[in-house]
Structure 1
């Protein structure tokens, strides 16, 4: 279930340089990259292809995207492996395969599938969006592109849910097909990113590049007590995002103990509200508090930054009210609202599915 990689440069002595993520692994014959799923086979870099380790129909708000066809359904698919090793990973059973024996032993969900079948399932199940997620999609970019090529022809929007450890080569390969890119900004501390297996500047660069290349970008920060929740660090993150664009939606979401980080308390409502207020004070137009549905008041909703009219009312993954016009404007002041909106607001799924629906191929 592999194919020769596209994101690669030749090295010496049969070695290769992988260009899928910013780790830029130098891989010799018989060796694997940091992600463990891209490997050098006799001088050829092989990349995952032709399977999913999970696929289901999700509300797009679960990704989370709040400015991409709200209320719509997304066929989300994932593979195995990751270029990071986050101790708080909530998808570790798929992302840490071949790195953590517990994850490797638990894998029994792989299903072989081709791009045609995946796109056909999306269409048949009423999805308007197809999303690459669950593990880190950058390390399986070639597979995603082959799926996305057919998805775009079928009239679907394509999105990535990623840690943002990208290269310009992977972004350029995705550019013709990808509409939106959700990026995790896990911390503003270099030492934290070093522990995860990356570099902070690479993530900041990806946010800037993705925005400059015309992708619709939304950013998520999982607010972890005692890890990245100081006022200083939250202000630094918010100011950086504002410097790229005040229109980037920033989702501050609640942590719950998972994987190897079991020594922290879940994020409180007060801490999440404080983080969101910092984002608003820093000048961001759209700040959302997630993972605590019904407990963060209006911080789940979308408001017009010009006249404060509520445009979208949410509770968790469910849309209760939608008033953005077919032209993507506020119905009261007429100002354009940044995002990807439907041109037929009557079709927005109010009271939506609100829950995922698993598929079997």
Structure 2
């Protein structure tokens, strides 16, 4: 069967696995067109057309959105998301759907994120209910349920459906997102979502536009997520020759510190993937330098990721007051956890922000 026919079949399958979008994320106009507020693009979608994400569409003047399936599912260490200040040593049942509002050339999840946009991407979705996902999380002993792999903002209704059941089961919930949000979608998510990870990919707007985004939207989301009381952690994938200049890293760190010096910043190592095969892989030395820049900018918790055992103290959590080792890590493995259950350093009593119990 030709690829084009397979892609069409996938689109038809996905269009059947939908429900009407949340009214909080939809504005209707007299001519039957809709404004979608699930992501920062705020697409105006006319009858029979799709948003930039390709998976939210206007059918008969109603917004149809993905529902009741997964395209990726795994039970992973919470540190892999990465959340370093959320229940260290726990597992997160992580589910994903298909589609994205960006098109990053180095996407490591392009098989799911670029479905319906790239003929090389796309996997067959598996029908599942929210209750089945929570039963699975409980059977694996997961303490958190997270939405990831594609961009969860464009499948926010499904995430809320799952998260409502997760909260009733006593589980924490997490969004692993590119941060291209709107006030409307964050308000919609907040009652059901505990943790929010944002990719701050670059401080250069021109580079962001190459990825399909706008820098100002992401920076505004970082502030809005913090103001709304989500637990927030930020990741910057250090791509040599793209976003690794000292000036740009310093701007990123200073911006995060201006929102709150207590927001953890993860700088992680790039490896060649998808359509970005012309950049060298990130070295441990580059990660360590980025961490030092973060500390100089006033951030109290800076971490280096993806190169376990090669970045010294930057995998661990230390008390910002007395420098006691609080959480010792090797990659995604937690070797020692000494933060008290109420979030304090056991040596000096300093408050360590996060979710610890």
Q: Give TM class, smaller chain.
A: over 0.9
SS in 1 for 2:273: coil
The match for 1:98 among 106, 116, 127 is 116
- Runs of 4+ displaced beyond 6 Å: none
What residue number does 2:71 align with? Answer: 53
Q: Deviations over 1:202-234 (max 9, x none)?
A: 100111010011001000000000000000000
Matched, 1:181 2:196: yes
1:134 aligns with 2:149: yes
Distance in 2, Cα, partners of 1:255 & 1:125: 30
Give the deviation of 1:326 after TM superposition: 2.2
TM-aligned CA deviation for residue 242 of structure 1: 0.4
Aligned counterparts, 1:176-325, within 5 A:
176-325=191-340
Hey, what's the Cα distance between the residues in 2 that align with 1:327 and 1:4?
41
Cα shift at 1:125? 1.0
Give me the whole-angstrom Cα distance separating, in 2, the residues matched to 1:11 and 1:196: 30
SS at match of 1:176: helix
> 1:61, CA displacement in angstroms?
0.2
Secondary structure, aligned partner of 2:196: strand
Q: Is it true that 1:40 corresponds to 2:30 in the alignment?
A: no
Q: Distance in 1 between matches of 2:53 and 2:184?
A: 17
Please give the secondary structure, in 2, of the residue aligned with 1:35. coil
Structure 1 residue 146 corresponds to structure 2 residue 177: no
> Is residue 84 of structure 1 aligned with residue 102 of structure 2?
yes
CA shift for structure 1 position 195: 1.0
- Shift of the alpha carbon at 1:325? 1.3
TM-score (norm 2): 0.94
Cα distance between partner residues in 1 of 2:74 and 2:342: 31
Q: Deviations over 1:130-175 (max 9, x none)?
A: 0000000000000000100010000000000000000111101111
Supply the distance in 1 between the matched residues of 2:291 and 2:351 (Cα, whole angstroms).
Answer: 23
In structure 2, distance between residues paired with 1:66 and 1:112:
32
1:3 aligns with 2:47: no
- Which residue in the other structure is 2:8 paired with? none
| Equivalent of residue 19 in structure 1, options 25, 37, 54 | 37
Q: Distance in 2 between matches of 1:333 and 1:208?
A: 30
Which residues of structure 1 form unaligned runs of 5+? Answer: 343-361
Count, aligned residues: 339
Query: 1:320 & 1:123 partners in 2: Cα distance?
Result: 24
2:46 to 14, 17, 28: 28
Asked which structure has the greater RCO (Cα within 8 Å, sep 6+), the reply is: 1
Across the aligned residues of Structure 1 and Structure 2, the Cα RMSD in angstroms comes to 0.7
Taking the aligned partners of 1:309 and 1:58, their CA distance within structure 2 comes to 28
| Distance in 2 (alpha carbons) for counterparts of 1:289 and 1:328 | 22
Cα drift, residue 119 of structure 1:
0.7
Aligned-partner Cα distance in 2 for 1:270–1:300: 14
Secondary structure of 1:101's counterpart equals coil
Distance 2:323 2:143 in 1: 29
**Residue aligned with 1:232, SS:** helix
Paired with 2:148 and 2:81, the residues of 1 have a C-alpha distance of 8
Q: Secondary structure at the match of 1:23?
A: coil
The equivalent of 2:7 in structure 1 is none
